[in-house]
Structure 1
């Protein structure tokens, strides 16, 4: 929970290819210190070695989070991405990122997060010359642990004052994620005590997308997790549990986001190691 020091992290969600059949792939995460826990969800580091193997495509579903990412030859602050993210992994490489909480980057940007949705901006656009220096410092680190320590020091030096709306946005997104039965904005409004217009303003400013988008994306995360579990519910039951009136609409939405129907996606999942 927010406020704990180095809290335990659950399994990552939304990774469409959970395992590769060839090459080496590593994914590490670490929670922030207590002082940053209301702003940062976790630090992450991925590395791969596909030398001698064909390139492998990795895809992830979008989350309502901003990421500050540094790679070997590119860096950027990525606003909420509304489509699935695809990356072809070839040769050797790495990426290190800070995943901010849903409302956690707005105090650094000091502008509506909707202005950077589906966009990449350079670190210096937000942090000035210190942003460029930060990216160089990350690239100079010898390992993931050193990168995480450097990222934490960078943020602690720029710790913004508390913002009640940041905390509220975080709590509302967490409530959507935790309660699979919360499938409408009306339900969120009733649970939050805010009207729909106030919710829309809060989410556009502090999260970067509307509450309806967040609800639909987390339900799709649940659908993918079910299919990856090896014992998924029948599609008709899964669609009903996720708030769909019929299976056809669920399949259409899943296909549009994931790129293939749920049945085909499930059949193509690699078998457990």
Structure 2
């Protein structure tokens, strides 16, 4: 089934018409829905063109990335990530629900932040075996079926804490009025210490990080669409544009005005 709700938010200055890059997504089967957010597929054809670098503000979830000759488990990337595409190629990925990858490991997910790890560390198959099966077909449905066959070998049990965490993360994503950890504490009737401990253990990043990441997803998208920068800052809970610009530059890597210009 095609994944319906995704405006490519978090992919900075993404324009498929200009880049010859195509992204599609599919939902997992019911059996794996407590673990997987969606499967994602990237195809590009840049033959005869210069390499293209795509910048991304990652969502708060672990990814498994399959690319021929280079596959790995990728923890949450705390900073802006940049991927250089050249020639012609394909990537198949699995985005886990926030906190769901914790079921594969007994260590806090903070140990996986900003790291790429061999697939065989967590799964009873190696990268080469997975790549051969995944890229044996060009049909997305067949690729999904193969991936789900691999993942079904060792499925972690559902964890109520993951569902609880996802309610909080989804609220942050959907409600721009949640601009501080104190507001989360009031909304979910949990202490700040409890929230911080749960986020560190299951996600690897803090509640403040998740709030800032989703607000910057909104900000970058709004600025790309021509919104007034001062208005964007106010709508996202900032009292002044200077504070907003400081946070935006720290996370996105450039000022809001430079981002609008494409610098």
Give TM-score scaled by structure 2 length. 0.93
4+ runs of 1 displaced by more than 4 Å? 20-23
Confirm whether residue 262 of structure 1 aligns to residue 261 of structure 2. Answer: no
1:211 to 1:18, Cα distance in 2 relative to 1, 3 A: same
Q: Distance in 2 between matches of 1:158 and 1:166?
A: 18
The aligned counterpart of 1:152 is 148
Q: 1:123·1:132 contact (CA, 8 Å) conserved in 2?
A: no
The aligned counterpart of 1:225 is 221
Aligned residues: 263
Residue 151 of structure 2 aligns to a residue in which SS? helix
1:40 to 1:129, Cα distance in 2 relative to 1, 3 A: closer
The aligned counterpart of 1:38 is 34
> 1:169-225 deviations in whole A, cap 9, x for unaligned?
111111110110000001111111110000011001111101010001100001012
Residue 243 of structure 1 aligns to a residue in which SS? coil
> 1:70-125 deviations in whole A, cap 9, x for unaligned?
11220110000011110111111111100001111111233211110010101001
Q: 1:173 aligns with which of 163, 169, 174?
A: 169
Q: Distance in 1 between matches of 2:5 and 2:171?
A: 17
The aligned counterpart of 1:241 is 235
Q: 2:36·2:95 contact (CA, 8 Å) conserved in 1?
A: yes
Q: Distance in 1 between matches of 2:24 and 2:40?
A: 6
C-alpha displacement of 1:22: 4.9
1:257 to 1:112, Cα distance in 2 relative to 1, 3 A: same
Kindly report the root-mean-square deviation, in angstroms, between the aligned alpha carbons of the 2 structures. 1.9
Q: 1:65 aligns with which of 41, 61, 65?
A: 61
Confirm whether residue 142 of structure 1 aligns to residue 142 of structure 2. Answer: no
Residue 32 of structure 1 aligns to a residue in which SS? coil
* Runs of 5+ consecutive residues of structure 1 not aligned to the other structure: none
* Runs of 5+ consecutive residues of structure 2 not aligned to the other structure: none
Q: 2:78 aligns with which of 65, 76, 82?
A: 82
Residue 158 of structure 1 aligns to a residue in which SS? coil
Q: Distance in 2 between matches of 1:112 and 1:132?
A: 27
